Structure 1
Amino acid sequence: MFDFISFGEILIDMISTDYVNGLKNSNVFEKHFGGSPANIAMNISSQGFSTSVISKIGNDPFGDYILSRMKKSKVNTDFIKIDDDYNTDIVFVLKSQFSPEFYPYRSSSLNLEVNDEAIEAVKNAKIFHFSTWSLSSDNNLEILLKLLKVAKENDTYVGFDPNYRKILWHSSIDIQNAMKIILPYCDLVKPSDDDAKYIFGERSIDKYIEIFHELGAKNVILTLGKDGSIVSSGEEKRSQPSFAKEVVDTTGAGDAFWSGTYIGFIENFDIFNAAKLGNAFSAENLKKVGAVLRLKNYHDLIDKYIQKGG
C-alpha cells in the first residue's frame, strides 16, 4: 500500500535565471525536475512516506533524468511508461516572486496510460492525487474516471489540483463541464484565486468556494498568495495568513502546500491543521528556486505551527 499515489504529468521545468519582464526577454534557463503530481510525490517521499506516480515520459535524455531523480528520491516508478512515440514534456517558466508566466511543450502528458497494476495501487492507496493536466485530453479524462471510481469505491482520499490554464486544454469538453464530472469524486480541491478565475470567470472569493462545494468537492482550500488562504469544510470556513517571510521563486509553492497538507492528513489532522502544515511547507519552498522541496524534517514544522497553535 502506498501512502500517496498521483496521476498526471512529469516534466522538465526550464526556469529563467533572472527576473525579467516576460519569457520573451529571458535568455538563460536552468533545468529543474517538474510536474505537479511528481513534485508532490518527491516531497512526501523525502519525509519518509511511500509514494508512486502514474505517468508517461519519452525515451529521451530528459526522461532518463526524470527517472534517475525519482529513483534517487525513493519514489516508486513502476507505473511510469517510457514511450518511443512521445517526447518528455518541457515547460519554460519565468523566475518570479509572483504567479509565474509559463509556456508548455506537451507530448507524453496528453497521452497517459494505465494498467491493471496501477489501478490496484490506487485501490489500496491512502491518498490519490491528480491535476488539471490529467483531464486536459479526452484520452486522459477517460482514464482518470476509471481511477476515480476505483478510489471512491475503496475509500481512497482524493485530492484535485484545478491548475487550469487555457493553453493546457486539449479536451473536447470545456473546463466547467469537466468540473461537473470530476468534483463529486473529490475530498479536497485546492485552487489558487487565479485558478478559480480562469475556470469560472470573475467572482468573489466566497463565491468561488461556494461553487466548488456545490459541484461536489467536500473540502476547499483557496490560496491567495501573500494573503494566505481560506479553508472551508463546507460547514466551517477559516482564513489563514501566509507563513512566508522570504520569497525567492514561486515555482512549486503550490505543490509544497499540497505536500504538507497531505502529510497532515496522514497524521490524522483535520482540514484546518492540515492546511497549516501545507502553508508551512509552502513558506519553506518559497525560499529557493525550483519545484522540489528541500526540507529536513516535517516534525519541526508541526512543532512550530501546529502544536503551538501557529
Structure 2
Amino acid sequence: MFDFVSMGTLLVDFTPVEDSEKNLLVQNAGGATANLAVAVSRLGLKSAFIGKTGDDRFGHFLKSALEKENVDTSNLVFDDCHRTALAFIDLHRRGSGKYTFYRSQSADMFLKYSEINTELIENCRVFHFGSLSLISEPSCEATINAVKLAKRNNKIVTYDPNYRESLWHSRDEAFEKLNMLVNYCDIIKFSEDEFQFMTNSDNLIRGVANLLKCGVKIILISQGANGCIVASRKGIQQIPTHKIDIVDTTGSGDAFFGAFIYKILSGGKNTEDYSNSELCEFARFANAGGSICATDIGALPAMPDVDAINRFMAENTIK
C-alpha cells in the first residue's frame, strides 16, 4: 500500500547555470505531479508515480531520477512512438521562472486508462493529479477515470491545477477542464491567479464558499513571499512565511503542497476533522518546506526532509 500516488506529467527541466559564460544548462527531473511524488517521499511517505515518457534517453533519465528518490515507477510507461516532454526555464529576478515547453505530441499526452495499474489507486491513501493531463486525449479520459476510481474507493483526492496558459487552446477550454473534476477533490492548492481564474471571482470569501459547496474540504492558496491562505469550513486564515534569499522558485509550490499533505496524513484524522488551528500549523510547516526549496537550483535537488523543515522553522524568523 502506498501513502501517496501521483498521476500526470513527468518531464525534463533545463535550468541555466548562474554566471555561465558558455550558457550551460542543468538537467533535472520535473513536472509538478512528479515533483510532488518526490516531495512526499523525501518526507518519509511511501510514494508512487503513474505516467508515460518517451522510450528515449530523457525518459530513462527520469525513471532513474524518481527511483533514486524512492518513488515507485512500476506504472511509468515507456512510449516508443512519442518523445519525452521538455521544459526550458528562464530565471528572472528573485528566482521566478518563465517556462518554454516542448510538449507537442509528447508521450505523457498518450497515457491510456488501460495502461494504469488500478490497484495502485485502489490501495493508496492519497491520489493526486494535475491539469496538464486534461489538455488532450487519451490522457484526459485516463485522468477522469482515475480520479473517479479514487473517489469510489474513498481515497483523499488532491489537485494542483498548475495552470499554464500557453499550453491550452483557449482560456474558455482551460476554465472548463480545470474545473471539471473539482467536485471530486478533497484538497486543492491554487496560486492566487489560478484561484481567481477558476472561481471566476476576485472575492476570496465568495470563491472559497463556492469551492466548499462543491465538496472541497481544504483550500490552499500559495502567495509566494507572502505565505499562503488556508481555508475550510472551520475558517479562513492567512499564514505568513519566512524571510529567505530566493534562488529558484521551481518546485517550491510542490514542496509546499507535499509538506502539507505529509502533515494531513501524519495527523491520522479525516480531512474534514482537522481544526482551524491544526490546519494553520500544517500551513506553517508547508510554508517552510516551500521556502527551503526556493533556496537552491532545480526542483528535486532542493526538496527538504522533515528534519530540514523543523530545523529551518527553528532558525528562521517569520515576516
TM-score (ref. length: structure 2) = 0.85
What secondary structure does 1:272 align onto?
helix
Equivalent residue letter for 2:15: I
**Residue 65 of structure 1 aligns to a residue in which SS?**
helix
The answer as to 2:65 corresponding to 1:69 is yes
Query: What is the number of residues matched between the two proteins?
Result: 301
2:287 corresponds in structure 1 to 279
Structure 1 residue 117: Cα displacement: 5.9
Task: Tell whether the 8 Å contact from 2:50 to 2:116 is kept in structure 1 after alignment.
Answer: no
d(CA) in 1 for partners of 2:140, 2:171: 10
Alpha-carbon offset, residue 201 of structure 1? 5.8
Please give the per-residue CA displacement for 1:164-191, whole angstroms capped at 9, x wherever unaligned: 1222225997222224420011001100
Unaligned runs of 5+ in 1: 20-25
Matched residue of 1:80: which SS? strand
**3-state DSSP of counterpart to 2:88:** strand
Instruction: Tell me the residue number matched to 2:188.
Output: 189
Query: Helix, strand or coil: the match of 2:295?
Result: coil
C-alpha displacement at 1:147, in angstroms?
A: 1.1
What corresponds to 1:23 in structure 2?
none
2: distance between equivalents of 1:9 and 1:16? 22
Secondary structure in structure 2 of the residue aligned to 1:110: helix
1:29 corresponds to:
25
Secondary structure at the residue paired with 1:76?
Answer: strand
SS in 2 for 1:174: helix
Structure 2, unaligned runs of 5 or more = 269-273
- Equivalent position of 1:3 in the other structure: 3
Is the 2:8–2:108 Cα contact (8 Å) retained in structure 1? Answer: yes
The 3 A distance-change label for structure 1 pair 293 and 238 is farther
Shift of 1:287: 0.8
Q: Partner amino acid for 1:121?
A: L
Report which stretch shifted further, 142-151 or 203-212: 203-212
TM-score by length of 1: 0.87
How far the C-alpha of 1:73 sits from its partner, in A, is 1.6
Distance 1:8-1:170 versus aligned 2 partners, 3 A rule: farther
Which of 101, 116, 122 is matched with 1:104 structurally? 101
Match of 1:301 in 2: 309
Q: How does 1:70-85 map to 2 (within 5 A)?
A: 70-85=66-81
| 1:266 matched residue in structure 2 | 265
Q: Distance in 2 between matches of 1:192 and 1:262?
A: 17
Match of 1:12 in 2: 12
How many angstroms apart in 1 are the aligned matches of 2:9 and 2:286?
Answer: 21
2:194 is paired with a residue whose SS is helix
Shift in alpha-carbon separation, 1:149–1:74, aligned structure 2, 3 A: same
* Superposed CA RMSD: 2.6
- 1:75 to 1:261, Cα distance in 2 relative to 1, 3 A: same
User: Structure 1 residues 287, 296: closer, same or farther in 2, change over 3 A?
Assistant: closer
| 2:98 alignment partner AA | E
Give the Å deviation of 1:233. 0.8
Which deviates more, 173-182 or 198-207?
A: 198-207
Identity level (%): 29
Return the letter of the residue paired with 2:4.
F
The offset of 1:200, in angstroms, is: 5.2
Residue identity in the other structure for 1:104? F
Comparing 61-70 with 206-215, which one deviates more in the overlay? 206-215
Q: CA deviation at 1:281?
A: 0.7
Stretch moving more, 146-155 or 205-214: 205-214
Measured at CA, do residues 268 and 199 of structure 1 come closer, stay the same or move farther in structure 2, by a change above 3 Å? same
On the 8 A contact 2:219/2:232 being kept in 1, the answer is yes
1:175 corresponds to = 174
